[in-house]
Structure 1
Amino acid sequence: MSYQPAMVPPKKNTTRTVLIVVGIVLAICCAGGAIGGFFLYRVVEDATGPAKSTVDTFAGALVSQDYPTAYGQLCGKLRDRFSQDDFARQQSNGSLPDGYEIVGLNVHNNNGRVSGSASVRYTLRQGMPTTQTYTLTKENGAWRICQ
């Protein structure tokens, strides 16, 4: 009589299978997070980009003493209150800025009424920084400074 070995089922490597599945799930989550983050960035940029451009134009015009350009960024209510010459006179009588940095920008949509605010840090020629906060409003589809 000869000895017959018993059939042993092949050993399954469940640890390896679990690690592969976990790796695939993690890769999908990371890719989804990256794609979601990109789209979130685009939405925020689309919402704040035009407002930032208005503030950038206004502050840059003040630094370069281009008062007609700065005046053009003001809302109708402010332009009705004083003329371009009065605005230029008022700006040139104060401390003249040497540079600027936009340090804060918020855009709000409350029941369809869009508004915002921006904080700009100016470096004055005397060397002291000062921060100015501007109120922003959307007027005829364009952002305007409306202190």
Structure 2
Amino acid sequence: MSTPGGYPDEPFAAAPPPGPGVTPPFTAPPVDRNRGGLWIGLGVGALVLVLCCVGGLAGFGLLTVGGIRQLETQATEEVSGYLDALEAGDYDAAYSHLCSDLKRNLTSTEFAARQRDEPQIMSYRIQQPQVGNTVIVPAEVRYEDGTSALRRYEVRQEPGGQELRVCGNI
């Protein structure tokens, strides 16, 4: 059945007119027959990945070496402070450089009495610290009686803190 103008009852979709600028609804993507660009891109990506990994490892190595050097410097400064105080006869200052384990077993008065019984330090020369499970700082110590000895000071980090302290003479 038709309507009074001769049109059918149901509308229909007309095909687009032919001509320029008209495209079908879904076009096929262009095909690149040359895969050289793909391989160059993958190669550059792999090179960047390798460089990032090498850079990360180098950075980690530098961080580790820097941390060890900082530990050596702090340990050397702590032993120097301890020996400077002993050399000056300032036993309270020397006692402050001891770790809490030693201080628990030895009062400052007992420490001062023991140090007065020892020969007085005239000079010292600190050698290269040895970093392992513990930090050992060797020092060549000369006494007022003319003797000298190689002393090895164990240095540890205090629990709950960042400070290093002298924890013994090995």
Query: TM-score over 0.5 for the alignment?
Result: yes
- What is residue 64 of structure 1 aligned with on the other side? 88
* 3-state SS of paired residue (1:146): strand
Alignment equivalent of 2:136, drawn from 117, 125, 128: 117
- Residues 103, 85 of structure 1: CA spacing in aligned structure 2 closer, same or farther, 3 A cutoff? same
Task: Give, in whole Å, the separation in 2 of the partners of 1:85 and 1:47.
Answer: 31
- Equivalent residue pairs, number: 105
Aligned-CA RMSD value: 2.0
Larger Rg: 2
Q: CA deviation at 1:68?
A: 0.8
Alignment equivalent of 1:97, drawn from 118, 121, 127: 121
Bigger RCO (CA 8 Å, 6+ sep):
1
* 3-state SS of paired residue (2:129): strand
Q: CA deviation at 1:134?
A: 1.3
2:154 counterpart of 1:130: no
Provide structure 1 residue ranges, at least 5 long, that are not aligned to the other structure.
Answer: 1-37, 110-114
Name the stretch that deviates more: 100-109 or 87-96: 100-109
Alignment equivalent of 2:101, drawn from 77, 83, 99: 77
- What is residue 144 of structure 1 aligned with on the other side? 165
Query: Which AA in structure 1 matches 2:141?
Result: Y
Task: Give, in whole Å, the separation in 2 of the partners of 1:76 and 1:39.
Answer: 30
2:74 counterpart of 1:50: yes
Q: CA deviation at 1:40?
A: 8.9
More helix per residue: 1 or 2?
Answer: 1
Per-residue CA distance 1:11-39 (angstroms, 9 max, x = gap):
xxxxxxxxxxxxxxxxxxxxxxxxxxx99
Runs (4 or more) in structure 1 with deviation over 4 Å come to 38-44
* 3-state SS of paired residue (2:157): strand
Provide structure 2 residue ranges, at least 5 long, that are not aligned to the other structure.
Answer: 1-61
